Amino acid sequence: MRWIREHRLATAILVAFAALFLLIFVSRQTLGDDNPLGRAVGEALSAVEAPFAAVGGFFGGNLSVLLDRGDLAQENERLRERVMELEKALTEARLSATDLDELKRLSELLNYSGLREKYDTVAADVIAMDASNVFNIFTINAGTRDGVFTDAVVVDGDGLIGRVMSVGDRWAKVISVIDESNKVGFQVFRSPEWLGVLQGDGEGSLKGYMLDEAAAVREGDRLITSGIGGIYPQGITIGKVVAVNWDHDTPLKTIEVEPAAYFKNIRKVSVLLAERPQEVAEP
């Protein structure tokens, strides 16, 4: 007791360390459970963070915009939109009506209708982001009142982002697919019968293997989610294959995949909610 009285700071530090390690242990045991304290903090912080995030968004997400690149960034955005319009016009001009019908029929057969047509979605802004530079975890300004739920799938214009880790009334915490060891079922866009499984490789990318060793997957192939065995529904772009290897030990055809989404600068996302009932075609 005397030692404690004489070394108050040291005692406080030791107690704090012990309490924090205990907290880590408890949070590990209850991972994924609803955490009332976390929810309360999330609610309070999301209210504070939203206006700041809006200010951050106003400056275009880059300090350089404050200096002299503001006009360039805006012009770049306009030009990108124009390029997309022109590419669409070009595609439509090249494809005949018959081709388009055929493509539509194929996409229906393969269940590749757009995610936004298949699912109710809610758009959300990223209002805060983890600064650990290890994980890609961020908070969005949509929560249970918008229909968001735990494990809801999050995408952006480029492709798969991840899933909702925890959710509050007006906010949700999202973890990226590369930060987890959860497995993601995929299929090769070029040849949808080629299936496989991916997971985060611990290097900021994804690694996986083909279920069929004879699948002739090659570098540059685009991968989409297969909807098999997991929380991710079919048809979301995951990324492209950057390396194909043959593992003699397993033996499996392994692949390395570069994610389509750039996780370091996410501003807007869509959360997939309930699947819309599909209209049954007249026989």
Tell me if 56 contacts another protein by CB under 8 A. yes
Tell me if 130 contacts another protein by CB under 8 A. yes
Q: Considering only 82-90, 95-103, 122-130, 223-231, which stretch makes contact with another protein by CB under 8 A?
A: 122-130
Tokens standing for 265?
């600068």
Cβ 255 vs Cβ 197: under 8 Å: no
Give the integer Cα–Cα distance in Å for 269 and 126: 7
To another protein, the closest distance from the beta carbon of 267 in angstroms equals 10
Tell me if 14 contacts another protein by CB under 8 A. no
Residue of 43, 77, 40, 41 whose CA lies nearest to 57? 77
Closer of 98 and 133 to another protein (Cβ): 133
Tell me if 67 contacts another protein by CB under 8 A. no
Q: Which of 68, 203, 249, 279 binds another protein (CB under 8 A)?
A: 203
Tell me if 53 contacts another protein by CB under 8 A. yes
Q: Report which residue type is found at 186.
A: F
Q: Considering only 44-52, 80-88, 209-217, 221-229, which stretch makes contact with another protein by CB under 8 A?
A: 44-52
Q: Which residues bind another protein (CB under 8 A)?
A: 9, 13, 16-17, 20-21, 23-24, 26-28, 31, 35, 37-38, 41-42, 45, 48-49, 52-53, 55-56, 59-63, 127-135, 137-139, 165, 173, 175, 179-181, 199-204, 264-265
